[in-house]
Structure 1
Amino acid sequence: MGLFYSLRGFFRSPGAPPRDAGIQSGQPGGYSSESAAEVTFDSAMQISPVWAAVKLISETIGSMPFNIYEVGPEGRKIATAHPLHRVLTRKPNQYQTDVEFWESMALNLAISGNAYAIIQRLGNEIVGLLPVSSSQVETTLLNDGTVVHAYTTGANVKVYGPQSMWHVKLFGNGIVGLSPLSYARNSIGIAIAADNRVSRVYSNGAKPSGVLTIDKTLTEAQRAQVRASFAGLEAGNDDRLFVLEAGMQYQQISMTPQDIQLLDSRRFQIEDIGRFFGVPSILLNQTFGQSSLGSNVYEILAAFYKLNLRPYLEKFEASVPRWLMEADEAGRYECEFDFDAALLRADLQTRMQANREAINSGQLTPNEARIDEGRPALPGGDKLLIQGAMIPIENAGLKPVQEVPSGTQESEPR
């Protein structure tokens, strides 16, 4: 497969990923150089910036409330009666909660650029969505334009059409998304090689290799004895004092971690890998230097949402009506992750000030503000108010009624 894509890429003109009939791939057609280390899902996830970036994207999406809204003449309301609402917000399948379901989908999307879920139906109604590993799915474009997905489990292969397999993808050729893990292979490979080097250095007591020189010719037996006696100079964690005699000299020949700037290289890999996954290095616990997104945590989260996380959310939000709903109902429903409530929630003082302004300007009722803060509604708090006398908005402009004291009689006008 790799050789085929390399040859195809050689004879093709540069451009976007091709969309020919046949098996679709989100991997590069070829690599400009060999990777410093083998990169697989398991080896990549052992690199801390990869783990942190994928975990941040997956768990953040999984933690956000998701709702399906029905749009009508009076606005929109949560469509609790729609069968998909139960599946996507409470019980997606027999194995997962809704949080775990969205985490699984986001994990596959962030790693491979494609997320798949088997659609479980009872009649024409969707009753479950079961995520599967994208590494077990092979997407094929048939000559008639149909897209099918072959799911491999052990020796069994099942083929699903679009009505039976939900497919969410990142940018690519329109059939499959490009794989961030595959395109970041060289950067991740360098990080893996650096980690391996650090492990070898510290398992060896951080001792560099070298040459032991002696000013006379030794026999085979003497050479073996010298190797055995002074092997600890370059190997092992033995820190005892060695005594060199008879003109022996030890010369270091390997580079130290300082010589190859190992620490700086590992620090740069955090930033480089973060770019592939769209995660600012400051959110990967990279504390070296200054954040270019702003020193305020709220500003950093807002920038991460707008520039990096929002495209992931849009993929899911647009895909649900397109692939999981009938054509006649897709226009009546909207899907949305509530990011503002989940991540961009301001501090208490800022929220109180915003609620006060919204209530005084007639944009929120007191009960709506209370519910947003997790407090119960109160009697009389469902009316919109305006600033001033704080009267119901429908009474604004009416002349107030003056009460007449009992026992008196108003004089007739002259």
Structure 2
Amino acid sequence: MSLFASLFGSTYQNAGSLTSPSGWLMQIIGGGKTNSGVAVSEHTALRLTPVYACVNRISNPLAWFPLRIYRTRPAGGKEAVLPGNGPGQHPFASRIGVRPNDLMSSRTVRKTTQGHALLWGNGYGEIERNGRGQAVGLYPLLPDRTGPVRRDGEHWYETTIDGRRHRLDPDNVIHIMDQSQDGYVGMSQIALHREAVALGIATETFGGKFFANDAKSGGFLLHPGRLGPQAHQNLTRPGGEKERSSESPASRLESQGGLENAHRVKVLEEGMKFVQTTIPPEDAQFLGTREFQIAEIARIFDVPLILLQSHEKTTSWGSGIEQLMIGFIRQTVGPWVDAWEQELNWKLFTEEEKEQGFYVKFNVNALLRGDMKTRAEFYNKIFAVGGFSPNRILQLEDEDPIGPEGDEHFVPANMVTLKRATDPNYQPNGSPGAANRAPDPEEEEADERAERDAE
């Protein structure tokens, strides 16, 4: 077994996460810091505002969409499942979209798990079941302490809780992931693009130190000779630490460089004079770099810049914002919704419940629907062809139904089916020869309905 496998307890090398055991090893052997000198992990990356905003923008819809359990009708269509233990009922129906466990709301469980999937590449949740094997609870698991295991032909999950390792049945673990190399473990977006994240953190740190130094650039103390013993004792290193006499000039210069000492005064030798740095931050394109890194982070998570409150070189705000939001839901959020639905529908229900047609579904229509005028036009058109009943329209608008009569579907009285329109013997009422035609029961019923509507 490899070193990665022995550390992780599996044959899957979870090297995609910076805070997994393999991530710790990577940092020990020198992979922790990036080229910009900043160490990046899933935890530190979240402190960068574009990363936090991207995770928030994607997780919020997943946590906000109504989530319910449905059942397919034998005659077609679907019906919402009621809570209970009777036929056609489910004990988790009232809790999945409100309170999946006693400690957390449905929003908290979904947003936490989705955030894990966006940062670590893997979001895990344990399914709690009753004695009949039915799901009655859902709990998120820490992604850096949980992972799949495959050994001797068996497959399961392991997680660490309170320092103890636990083995979990794979049917009881929800695993949400996106990109993967082996299909078992997702790749961490932060681990894949840590250089881009590190540059964003570095520019933010650089700017903070610049303003901490009275918004002035640093400089050098130049001396033509060498520092004497007394000068060595009088000098202090950055932070107030006394300089060690055993250090060489080269090592002293190196210790004063880097991001940690940005904008500080650099000491060269004795008999010095101060020489100010001549490259101001604007010449180093500091602001441009920061703006570019926002776009880089947005590309990693596939989030439009306008949703990160970045208006750089964009004209999407205004008349196109509705289409942009619809595109964001379909392109970015939609695949995650599909990942959730596939995983929940496969693992949440027993085989008997699957045969009965139980399934879960996110209602994304609330966010995809347009403004009032657009919705009214859509409802009017779909109602005119008998597609929606009045109660169906009221349901989509979260309004109360008007009673059983609201379930009727209506069509215009002056319209006929395509079959009748192509029948050479068909003559509509009022046309020559119509009086000699036998009355059609369906037409008479349609005419009577139209007369009642007119009254």
Question: Which TM class, normalised by the smaller chain length?
Answer: 0.7 to 0.9
Change (3 A) 1:148 1:384: same
The partner residue of 1:211 within 203, 211, 220 is 220
Match of 2:134 in 1: 125
User: Secondary structure at 1:141's aligned position in 2?
Assistant: strand
Runs of 4+ in 1 over 4 A off after TM superposition: 1-5, 28-33, 212-227, 291-295
Query: CA shift at 1:74, angstroms?
Result: 2.5
Alignment partner, residue 78 of structure 1: 80
Listed one character per residue, the Cα deviations across residues 270-309 of structure 1 (whole Å, up to 9, x for unaligned) are 1111111121222111111025799611111121122211
Query: Residue 4 of structure 2 contacts residue 13 of structure 2 at CA under 8 Å; is this kept in 1?
Result: no
For residues 194 and 128 of structure 1, the distance between their equivalents in structure 2, rounded to whole angstroms, comes to 44
Shift of the alpha carbon at 1:338?
1.2
Instruction: Identify which of 345, 348, 363 aligns with 2:372.
Output: 348
1:383 and 2:372 correspond = no
Q: Shift in Å at residue 371 of structure 1? A: 2.6
Deviation digits for residues 229-255 of structure 1, max 9, x if unmatched?
xxxxx769xxxxxxxxxxx97532374
Residues 294 and 375 (structure 1), Cα distance of their counterparts in 2 relative to 1, 3 Å cut:
closer
Whether contact under 8 Å (1:119, 1:166) holds in the other structure is: yes
How many angstroms apart in 1 are the aligned matches of 2:193 and 2:284?
22
Q: 1:204: Cα distance to partner? A: 0.5
TM-score, structure 2 length as denominator?
0.71
**2:151 is the counterpart of 1:142:** yes
| Local SS of the residue matching 1:101 | helix
Is residue 397 from structure 1 mapped to residue 421 from structure 2 by the alignment? no
Aligned length: 366
In structure 2, give the amino acid aligned to 1:299.
Answer: Q
The separation in 1 between residues aligned to 2:110 and 2:183, in whole angstroms, is 22
Q: Distance in 1 between matches of 2:49 and 2:288?
A: 15
How far off its partner does 1:131 sit? 0.6
Range with bigger deviation, 96-105 or 321-330:
321-330
Q: Do the aligned residues in 1 keep the contact of 2:12 with 2:185 (CA within 8 Å)? A: no
CA contact (8 A) 2:135 2:349 kept: no
Structure 1 position 113 matched with structure 2 position 113: no
Letter in 1 for 2:336: Y
Aligned match of 1:166 in 167, 174, 192? 174
- Counterpart position of 1:305: 329
Counterpart selection for 1:266 from 290, 293, 309:
290
Q: Displacement, 1:112? A: 1.3
One-letter amino acid of the structure 1 residue matched with residue 155 of structure 2:
V
Partner of 1:92 in structure 2?
100
Report SS of the residue matched to 2:406: coil
- Between the aligned partners of 1:294 and 1:183, the Cα distance in structure 2 is 34
- Single out whichever of 312-321 and 148-157 deviates more from structure 2: 148-157
* 2:14 corresponding residue in structure 1: 25
Supply the AA of the counterpart residue of 2:206: R
Q: Distance in 2 between matches of 1:212 and 1:134?
A: 50
Assess, with a 3 A threshold, how the Cα gap between structure 1 residues 358 and 26 changes in structure 2: closer, same or farther.
farther
Task: List runs of 5+ in structure 1 lacking aligned partners.
Answer: 6-20, 228-233, 237-247, 402-414
Secondary structure, counterpart of 2:209 in structure 1: helix
CA drift of 1:22 comes to 0.9
- Give the direction of change, closer, same or farther, for the CA distance of 1:219–1:111 in structure 2 (3 Å limit): closer
Aligned to 2:249: none
Equivalent pair of 2:92/2:136 in contact (CA under 8 Å): yes
The alpha-carbon distance between structure 1 residues 216 and 315, as it changes in their structure 2 partners (threshold 3 A), is: closer
Of stretches 285-294 and 211-220 in structure 1, the one that deviates more from structure 2 is 211-220
The separation in 1 between residues aligned to 2:66 and 2:290, in whole angstroms, is 36
State the distance in 2 between where 1:150 and 1:291 align.
48
Question: Are positions 1:51 and 2:52 aligned together?
Answer: yes
Q: Deviations over 1:21-73 (max 9, x none)?
A: 61331518987993421112331111010000001111111011112221132
TM-score (norm 1): 0.78
Can you give the 5+ residue segments of structure 2 that lack an aligned partner in the other structure?
83-88, 237-262, 266-271, 416-439, 449-455
* Root mean square deviation of aligned Cα: 3.6
What SS does the aligned partner of 2:313 have? coil
